[in-house]
């Protein structure tokens, strides 16, 4: 089995349990432990072995965000008691029939396709429906059959 000290790594490599235990009690190891405490970031709970790594860390985006957290923008519809992950989801919800009914019942325009007997919450859904095969087939089946005769003369 192979033993490595995580504090002094990569300089410490041991082949037995006794060797690593002896190392952990050594002055070299204890000095490194003390030195390590100097390079601890309490904001991110990160321990760095060297000052150069610590200095790089404190300039990272993650550290700076934790150091100066920005207020989280909460996307929420209080009327419907729903939270959103993205602005797109929120915008989509604001157009739904459920939301419109709760916020302004008089504003709902009832859109429907009488051919297919379907109702829509918004114009976009109605337009999408009009392009579907189902709607086109039903519409075509309702068209009158016109006989064309070829009469010469």
Confidence (pLDDT) at 133: 92
> Is there a domain that residue 113 lies in?
yes
- Encode pLDDT of 104-145 as tens digits: 766 556 688 888 988 876 777 888 899 999 999 988 887 776
> Is there a domain that residue 94 lies in?
yes
Give the domain range for residue 56. Answer: 3-67
In this structure, the answer to whether residues 88 and 38 fall within a common structural domain is no
> Is there a domain that residue 60 lies in?
yes
Number of domains in the chain: 3
In this structure, the answer to whether residues 8 and 56 fall within a common structural domain is yes
In this structure, the answer to whether residues 98 and 117 fall within a common structural domain is no
Rounded average pLDDT over 87-110? 78
In this structure, the answer to whether residues 33 and 78 fall within a common structural domain is no
Confidence (pLDDT) at 131: 92
Confidence (pLDDT) at 70: 64
Contacts of 111 (CB under 8 A, 6+ apart): 119, 120, 121, 122, 123, 125, 126
In this structure, the answer to whether residues 26 and 75 fall within a common structural domain is no
In this structure, the answer to whether residues 87 and 114 fall within a common structural domain is no
**Residue 2: DSSP 8-state:** -
> Is there a domain that residue 151 lies in?
no
> Is there a domain that residue 149 lies in?
no
Answer yes or no: is pLDDT of 10 > 60.
no
DSSP string, 102-151: HH-GGG---EEETTTTEEESSHHHHHHHHTSHHHHHHHHHHSPP------
Kindly state the percentage of the chain with pLDDT values over 90. 3
Q: 97-123 burial string, b = 16+ CB within 10 Å, else e?
A: eebbeeeeeeeeeebebebeeeebbee
CA 85, CA 49: separation in Å to the nearest integer? 38
In this structure, the answer to whether residues 29 and 82 fall within a common structural domain is no
CA 3, CA 18: separation in Å to the nearest integer? 10
pTM, 2 dp: 0.30
């Amino acid at each position: 089995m192979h033993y490595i000290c995580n504090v002094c790594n990569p300089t410490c490599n041991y082949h037995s349990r006794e060797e690593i235990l002896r190392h952990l009690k050594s002055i070299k190891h204890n000095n490194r432990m003390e030195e390590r405490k100097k390079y601890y970031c309490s904001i991110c709970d990160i321990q760095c072995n060297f000052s150069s790594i610590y200095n790089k860390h404190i300039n990272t985006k993650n550290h700076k965000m934790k150091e100066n957290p920005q207020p989280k923008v909460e996307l929420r519809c209080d009327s419907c008691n729903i939270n959103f992950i993205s602005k797109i989801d929120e915008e989509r919800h604001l157009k739904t029939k459920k939301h419109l009914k709760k916020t302004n019942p008089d504003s709902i325009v009832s859109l429907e396709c009488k051919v297919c007997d379907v109702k829509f919450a918004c114009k976009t859904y109605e337009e999408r429906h009009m392009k579907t095969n189902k709607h086109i087939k039903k519409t075509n089946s309702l068209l009158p059959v016109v006989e064309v005769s070829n009469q010469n003369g």
